[in-house]
């Protein structure tokens, strides 16, 4: 599992069903900044598994890693993401 400070990368995925991983963050590197613990897993719940839960993390992405080299290099984007969307970088 992941810990605060871990460098991660979001998976590149295109599921046929529901996902909470925004397309603009797929394949991007980031850093775990908060462990949110287990949360209801929206992807599985949308498919009918109302009891599904999964550990989630707040991940910070540097602006240039998301928006390109013209983005403000001092800014960032944070997203709350399920563990299954992440892999170690």
CATH code (residue 80): 2.30.30.50
The number of distinct structural domains making up the chain is: 1
Please name which of 28, 41, 16, 40 lies closest in space to residue 78, comparing C-alpha atoms: 28
Indicate whether 84 belongs to any domain: yes
**29 neighbors 89 (Cβ within 8 angstroms):** yes
Q: What's the pLDDT tens digit per position in 18-65?
A: 899 999 999 999 999 999 999 999 999 988 998 999 999 999 999 999
Indicate whether 34 belongs to any domain: yes
Indicate whether 2 belongs to any domain: no
Residue 8: pLDDT above 90? yes
pTM beyond 0.85:
yes
Indicate whether 1 belongs to any domain: no
3-state secondary structure 38-68: EEECHHHHHCCCCCCEEEEEEEEEEHHHHHC
- Three-class secondary structure of residue 36 per DSSP: strand
Indicate whether 41 belongs to any domain: yes
């Amino acid at each position: 599992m992941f810990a605060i400070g871990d460098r991660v990368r979001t998976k590149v995925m295109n599921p046929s069903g529901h996902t909470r991983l925004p397309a603009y963050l797929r394949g991007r590197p980031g850093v775990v900044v908060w462990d949110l613990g287990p949360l209801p897993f929206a992807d599985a719940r949308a498919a009918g598994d109302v009891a599904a839960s999964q550990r989630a993390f707040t991940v910070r992405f540097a602006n240039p890693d998301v928006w390109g080299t013209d983005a403000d290099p001092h800014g960032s984007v944070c997203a709350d993401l399920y563990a299954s969307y992440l892999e170690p970088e």
